[in-house]
A = this chain, B = another copy of it.
């Protein structure tokens, strides 16, 4: 099933025509090797990229090489709607795993968006949610301890993966290195290792470099001080009574 449609339907539902348009947004899927830049800071990109499979991230680097991952994409995420306005990328996008992406030319996006206002709003919604996630990460970095930060990251991955149908049980495919997680959380790789051990030992979550298993979601969310509001899920479906809300 189309992960993009699945994701956007957390915002609103589409009719058959809209779905067909979303399905047909691009033709040629492109396979990108792991750890490969898709767009680099300073570039002036001309289209947007839809992640079809695999994990990709936004990142920024300091002049001396320190890198920070700013967010990750799961299948169904679109990389850069903002490029239509900003002239140059202020950060880079790279794959972590092998990934399949589809590049949608600027022209096609404009056409679709002009013709289907609901799709436009849905894409806009997706962008705003992503920014909300960035803000939550900033909160994590500034205020959460290393353990809380990991607990939170894992809660988020779990919820986002479920939102696009990437998992049905407590286990999510997450083929990342500990050094990747280090770049996501702003911690050293060694410390990441110790934090993971601690979480494993306390029996709330397991991660073996390939699969992430949430053993005790409730406890994990408690450790993380997790509040799902920032993911803005179920706002569109609210009328249908599907959403779950925290107090």
**Interface set of A (CB-CB < 8 Å, partner B):** 41-42, 58, 60, 62-64, 66-68, 70, 82, 85-88, 90-91, 121, 124-125, 128-129, 131-132, 134-139, 141-144, 185-186, 225, 227, 229-230, 232, 235, 238
Number of copies: 2
B229 pairs with A87, CB closer than 8 A = no
Tell me which of B68, B90, B135 contacts A229 (CB under 8 A): B90
Interface contact B238-A85, CB-CB below 8 Å: no
Query: Which residues of the other chain, B, contact A124 by a CB distance below 8 angstroms?
Result: 85
Q: In the complex, which residues of chain B have a beta carbon less than 8 angstroms from the beta carbon of A58? A: 135
B141 & A62 in contact (Cβ 8 Å cutoff): no
A68 surroundings in chain B (CB, below 8 A): 138-139, 142-143
- Tell me if B70 and A186 are in contact (CB < 8 A): no
- Write the nearest CB–CB distance from A61 to chain B, whole angstroms: 8
Q: How far is the CA of A227 from the CA of B85 in the complex (A)?
A: 20
Question: Is there contact, CB below 8 Å, between A90 and B143?
Answer: no
Residues of B within 8 A of A235 (CB): 86-88
